[in-house]
Structure 1
Amino acid sequence: MYTRIVVGIDGSELATKALRHALTLAKQSHARLFVVTVTEPSVLISPGAEMMAINTGELIAELEAAKASSAKATLDEAQALAKADGLTIEPIHVPSSVAADALLDTAKAQGADLIVMGSHGRRGLGRLLLGSQAAEVLARSTIPVLVVK
């Protein structure tokens, strides 16, 4: 039925549920599974910054490194789940992007015929999928989207 599936994860319980569903689908249909986690661009906002002199380059580099480390941990957990099911995944970290854009772009680049995602995700640095991002993917996708609740 499906040959190439993209699933978005962020480490949340609901994303893990979506991943488990995608693993089952991939196993049943012998599909390749691309597991995507996205980290948003780092932005620093500081009122009164005109009065301060700080090296924002260093701060942003540290934020990006922390987000990359978190993304790696999230993808490592996904690989462990897949391995336990006797499957392999293709992990993808998309840095400095909006989740909906990253999932849609990855699906297109990989020739996916299904996107699987949670209906919402967690907030904070590790955020991937919010209700608004799921709605955005649903509105813009040209392929089927499975939203797991």
Structure 2
Amino acid sequence: MYQNILIATDGSELADRGLEHGMKLAHALGAKVTVLSVTEPLDDRARHAASLAGVEDPTASYDASVDEMMKERFADIQRRATEKKVPVELAHEIDRHPAEAIVRFAEEAKCDLIVMSSHGRRGIRRFVIGSQTAEVVTTTTIPVLVVR
């Protein structure tokens, strides 16, 4: 049914539920998994504040921090995929709009399912907090499995 599953994760405990569910599904279907993490670039206000605080090169410091975080996250994901005998590719994108990056990446990689987690918030709480999952669901033509 599904051959190429994209699992989007931000490394949070909630996203971990989607990661686990997506890997189990991939194992059951004999599908390949691509795990995508999207981080936002350092914004101008944070860069300016860091400069004022004496950080010599805020962008390089931020990039190094993100690289280290991704190495740790991807090492854990690779270990889990190996344990579950699921073929996995790991991808990292930097984009101010994570949902747009997820949809674009899924289309380019010809994924036939996107797996994401969501708190399932409604109304004003969803509006105030925002939901990358809701945005992906409403902007893609690829089926989306939402794990709560």
TM-score, normalised by the number of residues in structure 2 = 0.82
Distance across 1 between alignment mates of 2:135 and 2:108: 18
SS in 1 for 2:65: helix
1:72 offset after TM fit, Å? 2.0
- For residue 55 of structure 1, report the CA deviation from its aligned partner: 9.0
Provide the C-alpha distance between the structure 2 equivalents of 1:143 and 1:53, rounded to a whole number of angstroms: 44
TM-score by length of 1: 0.81
Identity %: 36
Q: What SS is found at the alignment partner of 1:18?
A: helix
Give distance in 1, aligned partners of 2:101 and 2:45: 24
Quote the offset at 1:26 in angstroms. Answer: 0.9
Give SS of 2:2's match: coil
Q: Following superposition, which runs of at least 4 residues in structure 1 exceed 6 angstroms of deviation? A: 52-57
Q: Kindly provide the CA deviation profile for residues 31-67 of structure 1, in whole angstroms up to 9, marking residues without a partner as x.
A: 1100011110101317xx7xx8899882111111111
Letter in 1 for 2:24: T
The CA deviation string for residues 75-120 of structure 1, in whole angstroms up to 9 with x for no partner, is 2111111111122310001124422012111101110110001115
**Are 2:11 and 1:11 equivalent residues in the alignment?**
yes
Amino acid at match of 1:86: K
- Structure with bigger helix share is 2
Q: Kindly provide the amino acid, as one letter, of the partner of residue 77 in structure 1.
A: D
Residue aligning to 1:28: 28
Cα distance, 1:80–1:59 mapped onto 2, change above 3 Å: same
Unmatched runs of 5 consecutive residues or more in structure 2: 120-128
CA RMSD, 1 decimal: 2.3
Q: How many residues align?
A: 136
